[in-house]
Amino acid sequence: MALAVFAYQFEHNLPYRRFAMQRGRTPFMVKNWRAIPAIPITAFKDLTLSCHATDDVEAVFMTSGTTGTVKGRSYHPTLDVWKCSMMQNFSQRFMAGEERIRMGILFPDNRALPNSSLAHYLTLAVEKFGTAESEVLLDDSGIAMDRLFAALEQAEAQGEPYALLGASYSFVHLLDELQRQGRHLHYPLKPNFGYRWI
């Protein structure tokens, strides 16, 4: 399958074809997936790497730009495969047999950040796996700590699972606030969950 994808990208993505040829790799020469030339992540900032017309795509995901002023772009003609992959993996590796759980999201949703793959990922997680009480826990000042702590305390009191999801840096702010307030939360672990972070 990887060789077929390489051949397709080589044929339909001119910048990638040039990159592969500079490394002496073509679909006729590459016989093992390990020999497929991997393009560096920085190339997404400098090149239009798409096998589809970029003016006719369902989504354009952009890097955060933390390593420079130019943001890398990833073009998606459709999100069908992306969504299928997300849902299958999230169901198997995170939900671990549960259909829905309450979620608190420490990141903007896809309406606020339409070019963020993480915003799309978390929005889809809430839509497909979250309960009606799931919510984005942000306000104008950042994390809505009062709402977050109220939700955590309610879940703790009721012994219900609660998924807290977001970018890793959001948890730094949360942990700092927990320490500042001297708060400690205790949650029973359910064996089939595998992992939960609280």
57: pLDDT strictly greater than 50: yes
Do residues 125 and 90 touch, judged by C-beta distance below 8 A? yes
Residue with tokens 């896809």: 110
pLDDT, residue 121, reads: 94
**pLDDT of 133-190, one tens digit each?**
999 999 888 899 999 999 988 888 888 888 999 988 888 888 898 899 988 777 655 4
Mean pLDDT calculated for residue range 108-115 = 90
The answer to whether residue 7 scores a pLDDT higher than 90 is yes
Q: What confidence score (pLDDT) does residue 38 get? A: 94
- One-letter amino acid for residue 194 of the chain: G
Per residue in 8-25, pLDDT (tens digit) is 999 999 999 999 999 999
Instruction: Output b/e per residue, 79-111; b: 16+ Cβ within 10 A.
Output: beebeeebbeeeeeebbeeeeebbbbbbbbbbe
Which residue in this structure is represented by tokens 């549960």?
98
Of the chain, the percentage scoring pLDDT greater than 90 comes to: 47
Domains of the chain plus CATH, in order, are: 2-76 (no CATH), 80-193 (3.40.50)
116, with CB counted inside 10 A (0-12, 13-18, 19+), is buried
d(CA 15, CA 43): 10
pLDDT value, residue 17: 95
Report the alpha-carbon angle 182-172-136, nearest 5.
95
pLDDT at 64 over 90: no
